[in-house]
Structure 1
Amino acid sequence: MTDSTPRRVRVRAPELVGKGGWLNTGDRQYTLSDLRGRIVVLDFWTFCCINCLHVLDELRELEEKHADTVVVIGVHSPKFAHEAEHAAVVDAVERYGVEHPVLDDPELATWKQYAVRAWPTLVVIDPEGYVVAQHAGEGHVHAIERLVTELEAEHGAKGTLRRGDGPYVAPEPEPTTLRFPGKALVLPGGTFLVSDTTRHQLVELAADGETVVRRIGSGARGFADGTAQTAAFNEPQGLALLDGTAVVVADTVNHALRRLDLATGEVTTLAGTGRQWWQGSPTSGPAREIDLSSPWDVALFADRVWIAMAGVHQLWAYDPAGGTAQAFGSGGGTVAVTAGTTNEGLVDGPGPQAWFAQPSGLAATADRLWLADSETSALRWVDLDGTVRTAVGTGLFDFGHRDGPAGQALFQHPLGVTALPDGSVAVSDTYNHALRRYDPSTGQVTTLATDLREPSDAVLVDEDIVVVESARHRLTRLRLPQEAVRVESVAHRTRRAATEVAQRLQLDVIFQAPAGQKPDTRYGPSTRLLVSSTPPGLLLKGEGADTDLSRTLELEPGITEGVLHVSAMAASCDDGTDNPYPACHVHQQDWGVPVRLTEGGADRLPLVLAGMDDSAG
């Protein structure tokens, strides 16, 4: 009799350790032996990362469908200094509706044990405690679901599968008026409209910023147009006033723009399909037919609604039918990319060539669109001609709290930006818990206020500025001070451990088309590899773009530490000789790999490109 059980390379799973302990378990501490008999999916994530947030949403269906066999464990592995604070992880778990146990690993101990290189990474452990699959990036849950089904059958037959309730224990809900609010808007009557993100609602507050006037949305996670009572949102964020009678809402996890009629409370959909945009999808067309990806903020600039499309590191714009701002209520309209390549980083220049990293806050003036580019901890702007420029910020891995000349100043993952009357801008410097100010006339950055808990937005009211203190669940009114508060300068780099490498390094991006697909070579090479570095002088050889997924790199021996930026793409199509029009797929992954040049360091750097089906061995 032939054994039909799939053969897999199995490695004993390292223990789960984290100095911060466990969340969502009712204070119980777990080891892998406690989970023996269950299929365990480890989700290595950090709460600043939009791709990690996408994976949280992808996992919901898997968790529900296989609730009695699968245990998802989030392993929180911080990038920013703020993300290593236990209280911030507790907040993030509630903010994003994480309904599985989370191990807080501020020192990246488990990350290192599993040789993880990128956020997010998913690892599957079988019921006997062996690692059977590892996937970097998002979009892999469909492959993991197939593997889970196989493991259920295999270990059910062997008697090694244990069914039952999982270790998740829901925390007690907190009775606050707002819960992790995201953005705010001053309405024509002087009231505030706030995106009550975690409760999936919009809340109108009286001019005191505290009294509830009305709530819009059912409060249940969903995607439905309708009345103020029946409409449904999914973690809404950005808000922009259109013509005084309506507001456009960035409905982030629904990947959509919604329209709120202020008079009636009616909610309709302006743009998006409810599906997430993927590489190869259309980037322009009728607004209701084009997929979007985690729109985080919106602003009316040059008669279009500009969109901070955090999920793909771009700016898009919604054009109303008729091409005028007054036509926003008439339905129709189009969407299109205005800036960004989908590569993650900080590159200025013409819009189509610029790189962003999770743009998350927008503010328009007559001649500039300011934006908070959160993952590069940068303040940037777009000119009327579409050129992208940077005021403050240097890249993905440098952040901190430092005032002074713009070239030396540092932010830490800002989410909001507010145009001030004198031409300067206030920055909601989220992970520094501060409100900062950049003055273009002097090129100086100062601190306006500190001790704000994760400020995510701010709006002007007369001579005051009202700050959305997201992690304090409230609006806080401040008088704009004449002089900045002095704070001690702090600079950080990403906490991820550096990989020790040799001066000559073989980079291999490993790609295998998923089961049932084959590389798409109909029009030439199906792959592309782009390599750069920080600092730019780190690479003596190997920088640039080519179609080969393997490349020899030579590093500058005089530069001992830096970051290799690797972006890889591969195309594959459904394999079937009887299908003349196969469905095709684009797989893309970006890595930032901190490296340290050492004698005896590794001479090969393997990176696995999203799309590889690790369930087959």
Structure 2
Amino acid sequence: MNDSAPRRARVRAPELIGKGGWLNTGGKQYTLSDLRGRIVVLDFWTFCCVNCLHVLDELRELEEKHRDTLVIIGVHSPKFVHEAEHQAVVDAVERYGVEHPVLDDPELATWKQYAVRAWPTLVVIDPEGYVVAQHAGEGHAHAIEKLVEELEAEHEAKGTLRRGDGPYVAPEPEPTTLRFPGKALLLPSGNFLVSDTTRHQLVELDADGESVVRRIGGGSRGLADGGPDTALFSEPQGLALLDDATVVVADTVNHALRRLDLATGEVTTVAGTGRQWMQGEPASGAAREVSLSSPWDVAHWRGKVWIAMAGVHQLWAWDPAAGTVEVTAGTTNEGLVDGPGAEAWFAQPSGLAVSTDGERLWLADSETSALRWVDGDGAVHTAVGTGLFDFGHRDGEAGQALLQHPLGVTPLPDGSVAVSDTYNHALRRFDPATGEVTTLATDLREPSDAVLVGGDIVVVESARHRLTRLRLPEEAVRVESVAHRTRRAATEVAPGRLELDVIFQAPAGQKLDTRYGPSTRLLVSSTPPELLLAGEGADTDLSRALELNPAVAEGVLHVSAMAASCDDDPANEYPACHVHQQDWGVPVRLTADGVSRLPLVLAGLDA
């Protein structure tokens, strides 16, 4: 036995079970015993969650570097009803370039076995089948890599490490013209420009919406400026036409804005550093010196390009004349709060469009299943939607109408707005004059955007890999109303005092960063607000006593925690520092025999 090996808690990993079966394995079904001898990282994710998409990107380098010892397994654990559909998971795995096995767990069986409470969560299992660490949130790839290297050395010495090819089997590519297109733009020529997201390209289509005129981008994931054959993108999404006949592109996974010269096909980077913005970094300044975070859509409004910054739940703006970027609305807290821009909360804003009269900026706030808008003074309003955990397909008065994870908005000539209601596979319409929501079309497949062409509306059917032209109907299609709440099982808690403990342990070789004051922050709120009698608000202590209202039977606790740690090496004059942040929405049900303590894990536990 190697006495120098680090000691860790010996907790046997529960079996991996999921009714949907395995993807990216060539049809083979796996158990943990099949993976014995390998280091396993379970990535609990759901494809609506932008933080989960960030983790997919963080893991790519780790996955490649340790491919012969490490197996990453995505455990898809749905939030929205649509995400429990097997074909939707199949589509998402291809859409986001997932190159490891994925277990489809629509009933959250494995999620419950591992006591997971938040998307994303990473669990590390050693070659002997024991859980050795758990991390909630994003930004943990550096800590996991150190742990993987320790496990490699420890189990190589013990003879329990098995090297070799992993279980990943790549699916056969489909020969479609577009592959999971994201957004579309009607060009002055009458042609369409489409972000061909999964192929990392822009595609110009003829006015028929089918014939390819040209492709822009080399077709592989990367960040490079240049001509149409040499420029590189990474999952581009939103498109906005500027007055000088150039197009701004939201290059989502590159965390950048790019500019396309339509005449030459030349692509240049105009904003972003190519790195993801993290808490504590500047959020305004010279556009090329400030990092962005998953810009999903763009719109040209009031002389600036507004950015749906999905990765940090904010709106930003790029000023082409000044060459600067700045935050225009949102606090980075995830939720639905209206008011002045500096106080508003968003949840993955993913679609932007300017109203026909130029007075409003419409936005699709995807995770709150909401249609919202910004007025000329920068204040934020909600037209449809109630919060993070209510969604469905219901027409009628806006206050009780429901959407499901919309990604696109399109102003209509009469002042109303069409909503690409993505997870309902529908095109919806909100009329500000009447306050009514109706359904324009159904049987679309994950519509993510739409553009007007005369009396028609051309819809980006992302999961059918095409543009679909529809005649705007005189009246809405009637559909049966459906309402949903989040699928996650509620945690049973006792009424009265509840001890909330956010557990944070700095990764190995790091310590809390206290150079400039407290290095932690905890923000707590609830839905409905009456659920919390005491304990809401912000403070620096990661533990807090909450008082739950016994008159409220159930609700959701919203918890946002942050901690900063730096490398613990006195000899290093400039230690690398990391911010760990996670937002939880914990559904709770009040029962007399419920728990009185709620632990939430923010960072790794490898004691």
Alignment map for 1:347-386 (pairs within 5 Å): 347-365=337-355, 366-386=358-378
Query: 1:99 maps to what in 2?
Result: 99
For 1:211 and 1:254, the matched residues in 2 are separated by 28
1-structure distance, mates of 2:144, 2:597: 28
CA distance in 2, matches of 1:569, 1:155: 33
Question: 1:74–1:102: 8 Å Cα contact kept in structure 2?
Answer: yes
Match for 2:34: what amino acid? D
Residues 427 and 531 (structure 1), Cα distance of their counterparts in 2 relative to 1, 3 Å cut: same
Partner of 1:447: 439
Following the alignment from structure 1 to structure 2, what is the Cα–Cα distance between the partners of residues 73 and 94? 15
Q: Aligned pair in 2 of structure 1 residues 68, 573: CA closer, same or farther (>3 Å)?
A: closer
Structure 1 position 525, deviation (Å): 2.9
Offset, 1:243:
1.7
Aligned to 1:537: 530
Verify: 1:343 aligned to 2:333, yes or no.
yes
Matches of residues 487-506 of structure 1 in structure 2 within 5 Å? 487-503=479-495, 504-506=497-499
- 1:472 aligns with 464
Deviation at 1:554, TM superposition (A): 1.6
Structure 1 position 122, deviation (Å): 0.5
Contact 1:188 1:244 in 2 (8 A): no
Residue deviations 1:18-42, cap 9 Å, x none? 0000111111111001111111110
Unaligned runs of 5+ in 1: 323-332
The amino acid that maps onto 1:162 is R
- 1:395 equivalent in structure 2: 387
Offset of 1:528 from its aligned partner? 2.0
- Single out whichever of 291-300 and 584-593 deviates more from structure 2: 584-593
Aligned partner of residue 478 in structure 1, secondary structure: strand
SS for the counterpart of 1:352 is coil
- Superposition pairs for residues 402-441 of structure 1, below 5 Å? 402-441=394-433
Q: Secondary structure at the match of 2:15?
A: coil
Match of 2:605 in 1: 614
Q: 1:460 aligns with which of 452, 461, 470?
A: 452
With over 3 angstroms needed to count, the CA separation of the structure-2 counterparts of 1:382 and 1:408, relative to structure 1, is same
How far did residue 582 of structure 1 move? 5.2
Q: CA deviation at 1:482?
A: 0.7
State the match for 1:327 in structure 2: none
The answer on whether the counterparts of 2:138 and 2:581 sit within 8 Å (CA) in structure 1 is no
The aligned counterpart of 2:66 is 66
Cα deviation for residue 572 of structure 1 reads 3.4
The Cα shift of 1:577 comes to 4.8
Q: Shift of the alpha carbon at 1:558?
A: 1.9
Instruction: Answer yes or no: is 1:217 the counterpart of 2:217.
Output: yes
For the residues of structure 2 that align with 1:556 and 1:614, how far apart are their CA atoms? 32
CA distance in 2, matches of 1:200, 1:248: 15
> Secondary structure of 1:437's partner?
strand
1:220-265 CA distances to partner (integer Å, 9 max, x unpaired)?
1111001100100000000000125210000000000000000000
Q: Percent identity?
A: 85
Match of 2:564 in 1: 571
Deviations 1:33-68, CA, capped at 9 Å, x for gaps: 111111111000000000000111111111111111
Question: Which residue identity is paired with 2:504?
Answer: F
| Match for residue 560 of structure 1 among 553, 561, 572 | 553
What SS does structure 2 have at the residue aligned with 1:336? Answer: strand
* Matches of 2:171 and 2:64, distance apart in 1: 18
Give secondary structure in 2 for the equivalent of 1:225: coil
Tell me the alpha carbon deviations over residues 124-147 of structure 1, each in whole angstroms, 9 at most, x when there is no partner.
111111111110001111111111
Q: Match of 2:593, SS?
A: coil
Q: Could you tell me how far apart the structure 2 residues matched to 1:316 and 1:516 are? A: 35
Q: In structure 1, what is the Cα distance between the partners aligned to 2:281 and 2:184?
A: 31
**What does 1:57-456 correspond to in 2, within 5 Å?**
57-322=57-322, 333-365=323-355, 366-456=358-448
For residue 555 of structure 1, report the CA deviation from its aligned partner.
Answer: 1.2
Which 10-residue stretch deviates more, 25-34 or 583-592?
583-592
Could you list the per-position Cα deviations for residues 264-304 of structure 1 after superposition, in whole angstroms to 9, with x for gaps in the alignment? 00000010111000001110011111110000000001100
TM superposition score normalised by structure 1:
0.96
Q: What SS class does the counterpart of residue 537 from structure 1 fall into? A: helix
SS of 2:152's partner is: helix
Partners of 1:401 and 1:389 in 2: CA distance: 21
> Equivalent residue for 1:510?
503
Does the 8 Å contact 1:413/1:430 carry over to 2?
Answer: yes
- Partner Cα separation in structure 2 for residue 309 and residue 567 of structure 1: 19
Deviation at 1:579, TM superposition (A): 6.1
- Please state how far the C-alpha of 1:514 moved relative to its aligned partner: 3.0
Shift, 1:97, TM fit:
0.6
What letter is aligned with 2:167?
Answer: P
Q: Aligned equivalents of 2:508 and 2:170: distance in 1? A: 37
In 2: Cα distance, 1:22 partner to 1:246 partner: 44
User: Secondary structure of 2:44's partner?
Assistant: strand
CA displacement 1:578-598 (0-9 Å, x = unmatched): 667655443322110011111
CA displacement at 1:515 relative to structure 2: 3.3
SS at match of 1:224: coil
Matched-pair contact (CA < 8 Å) for 2:138–2:580: no
User: Which residue identity lines up with residue 363 of structure 1 in the other structure?
Assistant: A
- Deviation readout 1:290-348 (Å, 9 max, x if unpaired): 110000000001100000000000000000135xxxxxxxxxx0111111111000001
Q: Is the CA contact 1:293–1:309 (under 8 Å) kept in the aligned structure 2?
A: yes
Root mean square deviation, CA, Å: 1.3
Deviations 1:47-97 (A, max 9, x none): 000000011111111111111111111000000000000010000000001
Q: Say how many residue pairs are matched.
A: 604
Sort the Cα spacing of 1:578 and 1:155 in 2 relative to 1 into closer, same or farther, 3 A.
closer
Q: Which residue of 2 aligns with 1:25?
A: 25
The range that moved more, 158-167 or 372-381, is 158-167
Deviations 1:147-192 (A, max 9, x none): 1111111111111111111111111110000000000000000000
The 8 Å contact of residues 329 and 378 in structure 2, kept in 1 or not, is answered as yes
Shift of 1:553: 1.3
Q: Provide, for residues 424-453 of structure 1, a one-character-per-residue CA deviation record: whole Å limited to 9, x for no partner.
A: 000000000000000001000000000000
Distance 1:577 1:230 in 2: 45
Letter in 2 for 1:16: L
Q: Distance in 1 between matches of 2:64 and 2:150?
A: 17
- CA–CA distance in structure 2, aligned partners of residues 43 and 525 of structure 1: 30
Q: Distance in 2 between matches of 1:263 and 1:575?
A: 53
In structure 1, distance between residues paired with 2:56 and 2:8: 26
1:519 is aligned to 512
State the AA in 1 paired with 2:266: E
Separation in 1, partners of 2:150, 2:565: 24
Deviation of residue 361 (structure 1)?
Answer: 0.1
- 1:25, 1:578 → 2: CA distance? 46
**Which consecutive unaligned segments of at least 5 residues does structure 2 have?**
none
Shift in Å, 1:542: 1.2
**Contact 2:493–2:591 (CA under 8 A) maintained in structure 1:** yes
- On the 8 A contact 2:418/2:427 being kept in 1, the answer is yes
